[in-house]
Homo-oligomer: A and B are copies of this chain.
């Protein structure tokens, strides 16, 4: 039978020599022969096994699991693959979330220098939250949808909008008083629900209904990420603890009341 040295095997399989040493060490892939002088020699079976290993490694299985899978004769491969699949799906979702957050963060940063346009509508709200979501909404649902909903907002009239703004400020100051309570307590959650209601009205149709839970949950993160959002509630001084409190409260609310 033809045998292969480490280097050869490394070359045709595309892994490093060190990797083969390591796999030998942890018992994942042992050479079929050790010569007098301790040289490793691999046969065809080992090449085959290595291919298997690399396949699973490609799938991001930890080596420990691979070892177990390959040494357990009655291993349920399909089940393992499906499990792994769901883990991958989770990772993917998480990355999608991160991407969203990055986008809004980039938006926020850029917005800091530019923008001063016709959206006086949003004045007075937790600093520029409205405009941020306006941009997001535009990119998601198109400009005309958003402008449509803004027209509806207009119908409320200046005074109507101001009333909403005032209401929102009230909720915030009430929440501020509760900042040392448990974010998941009933009373806090009631206020959060009120806040959500106001925000919803404010968003109108610019954020489509089934996107609102996500958008709202994202709000909590924004408070933490950029203290300016709370600046006009806390009269200027940074309140990281309050922001954290809001984040937790909002997260809890979104998870328990919005996702269906």
Contact = CB atoms under 8 A, between A and B. Distances in A.
Interface of A: 12-14, 44, 47-48, 50-51, 55, 58-60, 77-78, 81-82, 84-85, 88-89, 91-92, 95-96, 98-99, 101-103, 105-106, 109-110, 157-160, 162-164, 166-167, 170, 224-225, 227, 238, 240-241, 243-244
A52 B241 CA distance: 13
29 contacts: A12-B163, A13-B163, A13-B166, A14-B167, A14-B170, A44-B240, A47-B240, A47-B241, A48-B157, A48-B158, A48-B159, A48-B240, A50-B159, A51-B159, A51-B163, A51-B240, A59-B101, A60-B98, A77-B109, A78-B106, A78-B110, A82-B106, A85-B99, A85-B106, A88-B98, A88-B99, A91-B95, A92-B95, A95-B95
A44 B244 contact: no
Contacts of A13: 163, 166, 244
Contacts of A158: 48
Given A50-B159, A55-B225, A102 B78 contact: no
Contact of A59 (B102, B109, B170, B238): B102
A22 to B, nearest CB: 19
A48 B78 contact: no
Contacts of A110: 78
Given A14-B163, A99-B85, A157 B47 contact: yes
B47 A12 contact: no
A82 B107 CA distance: 11
Contact of A102 (B14, B88, B157, B244): B88
Contacts of A50: 159
A159 B14 CA distance: 13
Given A160-B47, A225-B55, A227-B48, A109 B14 contact: no
Nearest to A157: B44
B12 A241 contact: yes
A13 B110 CA distance: 27
A102 B81 contact: yes
A167 B12 CA distance: 7
A84 to B, nearest CB: 7
Contacts of A48: 157-159, 227, 238, 240
A3 to B, nearest CB: 13
A101 B58 contact: yes
